[in-house]
Structure 1
Amino acid sequence: MRYKPFLLALTLGLGLAAPILPVHAAPPAAAVPSVSYTSADVMRLTEKVADYQIASLAAGLVPAHASGDTPDPKNWVQGALFIGLTALADHSDNPLYKQVVLQRGEANHWELGKRLYHADDHAIGQVYLWAARHGAGPDAIAPLRKSYDTILEFQPTVGLEHREYTDPRGVDCGQRWCWADALFMAPATWLELANQTGEAKYRDYAVKEFWATTDYLYDKTEHLYYRDSRFFERRGPHGERVFWSRGDGWVFAGLAHIIPLMPQGADRAHMETVFKEMAAKLISIQKADGYWSPSLLADPATSVPESSGTAFYVYGLAWGIKAGLLDAKSYEPAVRKGWAALVRSVHPDGKLGYVQSIGDQPDNVSYDDTQYYGVGAFLMAGTAVADLQLDRRKK
């Protein structure tokens, strides 16, 4: 079976044998759980969501509305989940999460996805780099290093203009980071490889391409990233610019991963400025219910809940406070509201709901919708919120 490597890990004793039952309607208001901000309770819920997802993977279950490549163990869809699992492994006393991560790498033979240049197929490399520091050793990054050396030898020369996916010529700019999501998938992999190997060439490439993408997609007035160039002139129903929540979520979480990997200097300082500009914008448009709208500038009174973008923002804001980049008094209220919203997204059995399906723009979403990458974002958010120890802070 494809997920056989997980079966041993599941015997470690978390009581995961209970059947996974679908939940098709949001709970009534009276049934919504109260929110605890103690680190222990935050971690308890975070592990519950992880355990549900691991059990689903072990059973070979694929979420509804998933893309055809979702079962691919080297794809970005699962790569994002496993990045979240590395964060959980760093915070949990339960050895299951580390074992699951290491087993995934071994089962993948530490290989990236099939597309040499495509950022989506590099996300899983962040998991291998974590594994290399947690027992797998240098063999875990040897294929990654070989692939990146090839890219450096034959660097792409295409522009960043993004064609429609229906264009028969294809989206050739995918050889570079021409869409917002790519800034989560690839740069941190390049930067961590530079740090582990001591080879500055990997960092130099990542920094060059990061700024090329940022100069192209970052709106310096709105302080948000367009998903790609197709959205420069698109407008919503009320004339608002279209900034996709999960697209900007990928960037915001990506910056939280990138910045600590950068040496002190002008580039890091500039990245911190972009991060702080985004953070200020994000708390100004958070909805009253704690979520962010799928289309960030849409009417908050009519937009639906969406948990994947919200989880990335909660993660980034919590990380920024902990790192000293964001003022706690100004930003903690948004973290609290966002975490409370995420708690309401979790089904009684641990399934995470309100995750918009795979796409490239804002779309509708329901309480029963889930996807692997949304869980990865939730695990990052949960561990970052636990780090803040909000119960010990004054509101």
Structure 2
Amino acid sequence: MHLERLVASVSSFIKANPNERDCWQKAPALSGLMAWDDEAYRPLVKRWLDRAVATQKSDGNLSYGDWHTSSGGHIRSFTPLASETAALGAPLMEWHQRHPEPRYLDSAARQYQALCDAPRTRDGGIWSRGEGPELWIDFTYLMCPFMARYGKIASREDAVDEAFRQFEVHVRHLVDREFRLARHAWCEKPNHFPQSTFWARGNGWLLACCAELLDIAPEHAKAGFVRKVYGEVLGAMSSWQDASGYFFHVLDDPLSNLEASATLMYAYAGERAVQLGVEIEGMPHEAVRQSAIRAFTVVAGSVEDSGRVPGVAMVPGGPGVPFGWTLFGQGFFLLAARALREHLGKGELR
């Protein structure tokens, strides 16, 4: 199937499979749909974002952020904070830039205030969940692009600064200085890593955050730090790519499953790094691009006729979770496809 038909199929699957309760998972799907900007899906994007605003809570949290129990992985329960619901803020601000409405900006201001009011670690890191004090690497992507984009649109330099501050605090605690890879979760008290593996998708979330921050605020005083982390983590992750093109669910454990969402995040972040001129540790740009193409192509070959992208480790990630499909997996397929479109040729991808 050619790229455009795969994109249409994956987009159609998103439209046919909404999930109102786990709204943070919609964020990459919304960003992916907006990246292609197909007129047929604009009403869907608007409807989902309008629903997020309509269900914004008194505390400022966008859409549904409900306490829930986990059926697997390393946590038993998860009480969402503003760090999770902020995920929808980035596509909301992108939509507002295209279709300005005061209510969108007002909603974003309330969501940003909820982040400011959220509990923090001693060095200022916003907790990932109410059961903290904890920081998770995926929350760099869920929080930081929203704060940076909102700050730019609303002329709130404090919000842009906070985005880079949260990135730095999370990196300091979660990126291993020797291996240059991110661990999943850190708990401040008692000081330990409740999920300490080099989780492939966690590294993907971090790299995608790097791409967004450098796109939104390349002139920021701490952009150089982001570029450095981007190049080091991307280079380190690249060394664990399997011959198939996939990455293992736990990067350095070949007994774990090949995992689709991390592979797509890598494809997206790899190509974006080349476009942004990031120096990748140990790899020339063309080698990174070819690695990204291999990653995207192998996942494209797995896309089902329905448009479902299989092989995604389910939430909350980490070892021990079942595999299936997710809205963020669908979304990163679209984001990676859009980033790599000019380099995928005209042939069949599956």
Calculate the TM-score normalised by the size of structure 2.
0.82
- 5+ unaligned residues in a row in structure 2: which ranges? 57-61, 66-79
Aligned counterpart, 2:343 = 389
Find out whether 1:85 has 2:45 as its counterpart.
Answer: no
Cα gap change, 1:134 to 1:362, in 2 (>3 Å)? same
- Alignment-mate amino acid for residue 282 of structure 1: M
Separation (CA, whole Å) in 2 of partners of 1:79 and 1:126: 8
Cα gap change, 1:232 to 1:219, in 2 (>3 Å)? farther
Cα gap change, 1:209 to 1:303, in 2 (>3 Å)? closer
User: Of 295, 300, 306, which residue of structure 1 is paired with 2:259?
Assistant: 306
User: Of 245, 257, 270, which residue of structure 1 is paired with 2:200?
Assistant: 245
User: Of 42, 49, 61, which residue of structure 2 is paired with 1:98?
Assistant: 42
Report percent identity of matched pairs: 19
Aligned counterpart, 1:370 = 325
If each structure's strand is expressed as a fraction of its own residues, which one has the higher value?
A: 2
Give the CA deviation at 1:263. Answer: 4.0
Separation (CA, whole Å) in 2 of partners of 1:222 and 1:286: 15
Q: CA RMSD in A?
A: 2.8
Cα gap change, 1:283 to 1:140, in 2 (>3 Å)? same
User: Of 119, 126, 130, which residue of structure 2 is paired with 1:156?
Assistant: 119
- Alignment-mate amino acid for residue 275 of structure 2: K
Cα gap change, 1:365 to 1:287, in 2 (>3 Å)? farther
User: Of 283, 295, 299, which residue of structure 1 is paired with 2:238?
Assistant: 283
Partner SS, residue 184 of structure 2? coil
User: Contact 2:264/2:333 (CA < 8 Å) preserved in 1?
Assistant: yes
User: Contact 2:138/2:205 (CA < 8 Å) preserved in 1?
Assistant: yes
Give the CA deviation at 1:139. Answer: 1.9
User: Contact 1:249/1:309 (CA < 8 Å) preserved in 2?
Assistant: yes
1:269-290 residue CA offsets vs partner (Å, 9 max, x unmatched): 1100100111111221100111
1:166-219 residue CA offsets vs partner (Å, 9 max, x unmatched): xxxx62336xxx101100101000000111011101112222222111111111
Calculate the TM-score normalised by the size of structure 1.
0.73
Separation (CA, whole Å) in 2 of partners of 1:379 and 1:86: 9
User: Of 244, 248, 270, which residue of structure 2 is paired with 1:317?
Assistant: 270
- 5+ unaligned residues in a row in structure 1: which ranges? 1-32, 34-40, 58-69, 236-240
Give the CA deviation at 1:266. Answer: 4.0
- Alignment-mate amino acid for residue 172 of structure 1: G
5 Å-filtered alignment, 1:339-358, equals 339-358=296-315
User: Contact 2:315/2:321 (CA < 8 Å) preserved in 1?
Assistant: no
User: Contact 1:256/1:316 (CA < 8 Å) preserved in 2?
Assistant: yes
Aligned counterpart, 2:214 = 259
- Alignment-mate amino acid for residue 391 of structure 1: G
User: Of 354, 373, 380, which residue of structure 1 is paired with 2:335?
Assistant: 380
Aligned counterpart, 1:44 = 5
Aligned counterpart, 2:153 = 196
Separation (CA, whole Å) in 2 of partners of 1:335 and 1:363: 27
User: Contact 1:311/1:378 (CA < 8 Å) preserved in 2?
Assistant: yes
Cα gap change, 1:137 to 1:78, in 2 (>3 Å)? same
